[in-house]
Amino acid sequence: MNERIRLLAEQAGASKLPGGELSFFGNESVERFAQLIIQECAKITLETPMEYAEIDAMHRIRDRVKEHFGVEE
């Protein structure tokens, strides 16, 4: 598992099982994990180098991704 994904899963409340695998207990932690991944994607969108003229498009893409999944800041 990618280290960043593992960290997000732990932040969302996933528990470590024997052997190092992660497990989610309850819908709340799964939903939080999904929100954290979407927020991470939106953050990467804003950090991607762009020309000045593309910045508005970058913000619109970030906002549409978050709106599509119903994620707020």
pLDDT tens readout for residues 10-58: 999 998 888 878 888 888 889 999 999 999 888 888 787 777 667 788 8
Q: How many domains, the chain?
A: 1
What is d(CA 21, CA 14) in angstroms, rounded to the nearest whole number? 10
pTM over 0.75: no
Contact 33, 8 (CB under 8 A): yes
| Number of residues that make up the chain | 73
What local confidence, expressed as pLDDT, does residue 44 receive? 84
Question: E strands within 6-70?
Answer: 15-16, 22-23
Task: Provide the domain limits for residue 58.
Answer: 3-69
What local confidence, expressed as pLDDT, does residue 36 receive? 93
